Structure 1
Amino acid sequence: MYRRTSILDGIALPALQARPAAMQQAYLDLTTGGKIQVASYTQGDGARTVTYTQANIADLTQAILAVQTQIDRLTGAQCINRRAPLRPLF
């Protein structure tokens, strides 16, 4: 049995890879000008449209991170900013 670990499980990799650029542009537009941004996407059960405003920029940030994380999971990408383990010196 497959255990889902992300709300984005089941979305094809090419569809996921197309989203971050538009979402990041919406983020930049919101943070620099405060204008409303609309993001549309299609899932298996139909099309969705989400409107982001300055008030819910944190939601947009989390959505961007979720998509990027899912892409990393599907492509096997590793985080390059990891610290080496700490080792005690005696």
Structure 2
Amino acid sequence: MRYANPYNPATSLLAGMPTAQLQQALAAAQQAYIDLSTGAKGESYSYTQGDGSKSVTYTRANLPALQNLIQTLQAQLGIVCRPRQPVRPVFW
């Protein structure tokens, strides 16, 4: 059984990007996914200055959207992520 891949690198939004730039974007997206998944990146920071207390809040990225971006970059680079074949037990 062949895996049907409807993705077409020639017509994607990433068509025409240099390979090196795609690889950099993939590495950055994968690192962001790891950082967000493991909690390595915070969402809210507070600090105190001479004129009072300040806080900054960052919105957590949508992990499924980030995962989709990673898969799109992989497809554009020709990295094929095929689903696993089902395991069928054979009894003798």
- What is the TM-score when the length of structure 2 is the normalising length? 0.52
Matched, 1:67 2:85: no
Mapped to 2, the partners of 1:11 and 1:52 lie a distance apart of: 28
- CA RMSD for the aligned pairs? 2.9
Structure 2 unaligned regions, length at least 5: 1-9, 44-57, 86-92
Aligned residues: 62
**RCO higher in structure (CA 8 A, sep ≥6):** 2
1:58 corresponds to = 64
Alignment partner, residue 25 of structure 1? 31
Percent identity reads: 39
Per the alignment, residue 87 of structure 1 pairs with none
Q: Where do 1:1-90 residues align within 5 Å?
A: 4-33=10-39, 35=41, 53-54=60-61, 56-72=62-78
**Aligned equivalents of 2:81 and 2:70: distance in 1?**
16
Deviation at 1:27, TM superposition (A): 0.2
Cα distance, 1:12 vs. partner?
Answer: 1.1
- For structure 1, list consecutive stretches of 5 or more residues without a partner in the other structure: 38-50, 84-90
* Alignment check: 8 A CA contact 1:20 1:64 kept: yes
TM-aligned CA distance change 1:68 to 1:11, over 3 Å: same
| TM-score (structure 1 length as normaliser) | 0.53
1:35 positional shift: 3.0
Return the letter of the residue paired with 2:60.
T
Larger radius of gyration: 2
Moved over 2 A (4+): 34-37, 77-83
